[in-house]
């Protein structure tokens, strides 16, 4: 009889934990404090679907950051958070005004349209940021039954181009949108990085600025998985609980998402992680500026550096350090820093960039 090898019962590490790149803050692992929180929530039985003690306590923590009416609805991922949030503030005939570079438009595989049933009205922007004047390019036709009705303005903080709105800029957008009967949604996948840059509480450019609903990101800032839809204006939102289930974002063992959010927000882990990632991006940008022939494309205001360099240099450099092209035809690339990026990582990357640029004829 042929011998059948025993099935391995213990997982083995299948990667080098010392290797870090600049492709995405999603590449980073989970922060040790987050992993410890997950272990803390394990064991015993807790009510499913959000009735657990951790999700209940999370509400108090979220209100300390986002105002007295804030309510958090944990979800699995950022796309799910955006779709559920936008559905909650639109009708079936509603449309969402957003920047043409917005994640909801270019990086969610049509989920807002296909899953949420929404029409996106996109506006070109030079830096990823909307303004009241830019919003007005699409904010019209509310009585035209042939046109999807503009009901929501969706902005990202920080934007897909790494730029950050000031609290005054968001207040101007909210005032403008509300005057026209529209709501305001913030895609906050990197909301913590924006707060670290602005050095203000997150409520200063969300609740206090008039934002109605936001998607709060945790995965890019040290969580293992999970995000949250945070309702700031209960009067603006309908049927959140039902929409979350309908959109397949209701976790049965929700305590394991909620306890991660609590680990980030209850103290200052969210801010420590974001400040570090931002600082590494500043270090990277400073190093890149010393390399002849490399152009930084946008203001470095969070944890992203966008640059333009020769295509062949990028291809060689990608074999040494992971990162993505942003616009391959133009030679544009994006370098992301994470909560676990080290100064040595940055310095090694800049040295490799200088070396590869030196090989260019």
Asked if the model's pLDDT at residue 3 lies above 80, the reply is no
Amino acid 360: pLDDT: 62
In whole angstroms, what is the distance from residue 165 CA to residue 7 CA?
Answer: 53
In whole angstroms, what is the distance from residue 202 CA to residue 194 CA?
Answer: 8
Amino acid 361: pLDDT: 64
Q: Within 165-217, where are the H helices?
A: 167-179, 191-198
Amino acid 238: pLDDT: 87
- Same CATH topology for 32-265 and 269-358: the answer is no
Asked if the model's pLDDT at residue 117 lies above 60, the reply is yes
- Strand ranges, E, within 54-199: 71-75, 94-99, 119-123, 149-156, 183-188
Domain edges within the chain: 32-265, 269-358
Stated as kind and residue range, the H or E segment containing 334 is strand 332-336
Amino acid 11: pLDDT: 82
Amino acid 163: pLDDT: 97
| Percentage, residues of the chain above pLDDT 70 | 97
Q: Which tops the pLDDT comparison, 10 or 285?
A: 285
Amino acid 97: pLDDT: 98
Q: Which tops the pLDDT comparison, 11 or 175?
A: 175
Look up residue 8 and give its DSSP letter: P
Asked if the model's pLDDT at residue 165 lies above 90, the reply is yes
Q: How far is CA 165 from CA 59, 66, 77, 210, 230, in A?
A: 26, 17, 23, 14, 19
Asked if the model's pLDDT at residue 6 lies above 60, the reply is no
Which segment of 6-10, 64-68, 189-193, 303-307 scores lowest on mean pLDDT?
6-10
Q: What does the pLDDT look like over 223-273, one tens digit per residue? A: 999 999 999 999 999 899 999 999 999 999 999 999 999 999 999 999 999
Asked if the model's pLDDT at residue 16 lies above 70, the reply is yes
Q: Is 32-265 a domain of CATH 3.30.70.20?
A: no
Partner residues linked to 226 by β-bridges = none
Amino acid 248: pLDDT: 96
Asked if the model's pLDDT at residue 1 lies above 60, the reply is no
Which segment of 7-21, 135-149, 281-295 scores lowest on mean pLDDT?
7-21
The DSSP-derived string for 212-258 is -EEEEE-GGGT-SS-EEEEES-GGG---HHHHHHHTT---TTTHHHH
Amino acid 203: pLDDT: 98
Stated as kind and residue range, the H or E segment containing 339 is none
Please give the CATH number for the structural domain made up of 269-358: 3.90.1150.10
Amino acid 69: pLDDT: 95
């Amino acid at each position: 009889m042929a011998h059948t090898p025993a099935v391995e019962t213990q997982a083995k590490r299948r990667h080098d934990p010392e290797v870090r790149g600049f492709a995405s803050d999603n590449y980073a692992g989970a922060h040790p404090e987050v992993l410890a929180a997950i272990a803390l929530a394990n064991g015993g039985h807790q009510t499913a679907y959000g009735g657990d003690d951790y999700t209940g306590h999370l509400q108090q923590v979220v209100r300390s950051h986002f105002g007295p009416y804030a309510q958090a609805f944990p979800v699995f991922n950022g796309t799910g958070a955006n779709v559920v949030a936008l559905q909650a503030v639109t009708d079936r005939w509603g449309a969402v005004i957003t920047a043409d570079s917005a994640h909801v438009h270019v990086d969610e595989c049509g989920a807002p349209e296909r899953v949420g049933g929404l029409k996106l009205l996109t506006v070109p922007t030079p830096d990823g940021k909307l303004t009241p004047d830019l919003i007005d390019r699409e904010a019209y036709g509310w009585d035209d039954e042939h046109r999807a009705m503009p009901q929501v303005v969706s902005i990202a903080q920080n934007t897909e181009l790494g730029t950050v709105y000031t609290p005054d800029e968001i207040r101007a957008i909210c005032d403008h949108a509300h005057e026209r009967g529209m709501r305001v949604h913030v895609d906050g996948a990197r909301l913590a990085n924006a707060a670290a840059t602005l050095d203000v509480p997150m409520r200063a450019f969300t609740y206090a600025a008039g934002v109605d609903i936001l998607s709060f990101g945790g995965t890019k800032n040290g969580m293992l998985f999970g995000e949250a839809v945070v309702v700031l204006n209960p009067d603006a939102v309908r049927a959140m609980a039902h929409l979350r289930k309908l959109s397949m974002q209701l976790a049965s063992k929700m305590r394991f998402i909620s306890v991660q959010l609590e680990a980030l927000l209850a103290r200052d882990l969210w801010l420590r992680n974001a400040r570090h990632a931002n600082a590494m991006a500043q270090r990277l940008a400073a190093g890149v500026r010393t390399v002849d022939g490399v152009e930084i494309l946008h203001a470095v205001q969070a944890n992203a550096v966008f640059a333009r360099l020769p295509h062949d240099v990028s291809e060689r450099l990608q074999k040494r350090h992971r990162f993505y092209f942003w616009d391959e035809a133009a030679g544009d690339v994006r370098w992301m820093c994470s909560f676990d990026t080290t100064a040595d990582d940055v310095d090694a990357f800049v040295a490799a960039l200088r070396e590869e640029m030196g090989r260019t004829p």
